[in-house]
Structure 1
Amino acid sequence: MNISHQPPSAALVLQTLLTQGPLTRAELGRRTGLSSGAVTKVSAPLLDDGWITELGLSGERQPGRPATLVAVRPERARFIGVKVTADELIGMLVDLTAAPLATRRVPLRSRDVGTVVRTVARLVRTLASGAEGGAEGETRPAVHSIGVTVAGDVDGAGGIVRYSPFLDWRGVGLAALVEEATGIATAVENDVRALTVAEQWFGAGVGLSSFALVTVGAGVGCGMSVEGRVIAGAFGVSGELGHLPVGGTDRVCTCGNTGCVEAVASTQAIVEQVQEQTGNTDLSLAGAVRLARSGDAAARGVFTRAGRALGLAIASVANLIGPERVIISGEGVATYDLFTEEIRRAFAEQAFGAAARCELVLRPLPFEAWARGGAAIAAHRLFSPPSGRTTGAAGF
């Protein structure tokens, strides 16, 4: 049975069980808004085809009989997520609940599109080999689909990387290229948006009506979930927090503009500014951090300015969408202690009214979690092919 060919109510039931189950049918109806008859009707083919299963009895009783719990069968489908960085691929094989089954990292010897596609295909073959066979002749399902995530302007619906500054790509039809190279259906998405989907389903965004994920590293990104939907925007570029103008600098950003958050607060921008301040052009990020932590005033000033830019940007997100929580992640959070005070001060100054009640949560995540986000995007496409500019558990 192809889930995407089923009525939307079937996808809704499966998604709700995936993110909130196991549940009784009565509770499933309450959480989806479906009638008991509708739940029974859409559950039957899902049970018959092995997407869901009945577990033991719950403590809840329905009139006349005990209630049975229903849950997703994790082993029913497998997916591969691949996170593309400027110099490395991180891949993960997961089951239907996005539980990791295998992970692997491979270096990228070139950012040339053909090289990247071939390397992705080899990585997929390596990970997919873990999806075949099993104990005592058990046959495991083949990989259903692949989700590839890339930083930058990505048209997820069209499978096109419109612009990725770190790869220096423009107008690359990556989904079609990977699908041709692997023979497996492929989705492509912005990496931060994919990670936001994973956090919505399985991470710090579970159960929240609205939240934002801010990532700090080589770039500064933001994923936003509003009323259960991860927002991509009309043109697929929502959440480009790094290119929000905060002023206070004439540094040129990777986008060519000045005054962007990313021009002040990305890891490369921080290194360059500390180099400029100290005159040491050989200084690395680790060296800049050591200087700041040792009390060097110039280095600490760079981190303070970065923290202020991030705090102002996060306050803008809180003012715009009113999230319950902002999750701060990315490789840059390893140095969070150097700008946390200024982030919170600037946020408190700029957040309007009740928006200041938004919870700021630090959540370090390895790149494997980003690859898992790609797998979550692939799982999304199982339920519903891309047809719009929003994604989310409430309906893609």
Structure 2
Amino acid sequence: MANFNEDVLMEIFSWLSAKNLSKFSLVSRSVDDLRSDDFFIRKQFRNMRILGDSDFFVQSHGYNETLQLHGNYNVVNPSSLISPCKTDEFVGGFGKILATFNGLICSRKDEQGPLFVFNPATRSCIHVPVPTDKGHFDVVFAEEERGSVFDYSLFSVVPSSEWGGESRFMVFSPRQRIWKNLSGVDFGGRNMAFDLTVQVKGILYFVSDSELYFAAKSRFFWSYIVAYDTKDHTSKLVKIPKNARKGSWDSNLAIFEWGRRRSTICLVRFWRGMFTIWALGDSCWKRVFHMRIKAMGLSGFDRGIVKICCYTILNGTNLLVATNQKLYSYDLMGGTKAKIQEVCEHDFAGAKVRIHSVCGTLSRCGPVDQHARNRHMII
């Protein structure tokens, strides 16, 4: 590497995952030094963001439940974390995964314990105080554009203890280490699926449930999406497509990033064995996918042999489907010739599960570990 100048080496290594950087650091002091350089850390996690999430966890619903790590082999850096068995043990020790972002994970062991924000690739971790010690709350990550090595905020929604009262919307910054109340968000009258929150271009999108508990004349009768601007602290309600209303009460509507550039969101409905996807444009929704699960290549659903337990869209292009026995991947950009591919088996036997994607970055959790050098990473 002596024949390359420093800038060229930094550019090359910034496209490697934390796992591969750890391997190179064992034989190169210069690479080891890069892993603690603030500029390099920012550059590396931005490049990993471009490449897309390389791994995902499957975890059954509830606290202190087991999880499994699997690699996404449709990306450039497959399996960018450390060995699955060691990562499962490390991440599982923090309890239930609440949210993931840019290589970081937010977890909680139980309903009385604190929050943890940690990086499974570097083994760094910080404790985060809970926004309230009374009752349930939801937590989501949001990206900050400040050029920091910990470029995130945590947002939390604390439901009102009184019927019909307004929920509190709060933000936590790793710099200040405190929760602050925010104004300007209106979630309407419905319950929101905060675990499906998506951020695109500084906008947080929340999708509501679809239960039939409003009168037909109510503006909250149909499901909707709330768009919250993290810079202006304003929100607005976004109507779902009219065609998506059919069967919405009998299906779980979900939102995800959409497209190779992940520049917008999409709405996904799985109803009567068929996936339908609408992408949000500048002024309207556009249907971009409509296919039965059988036509995608997965048989047995119509006979009750296969049960769809969970699904997500990874990196805006790949549909991940968890059945009662296995996980499958489908390339949504592959055209009519695409077929669903088996990824792996899992051990949850039809239980309610969640899929959390993650990538191997050097992102720091906060100023507490700003000068830490994690030479003890396990490969």
* Structure richer in helix, relative to its length: 1
| TM-score for both structures, normalised by structure 1 | 0.31
Find the structure with the greater CA-based Rg. 1
| TM-score for both structures, normalised by structure 2 | 0.32
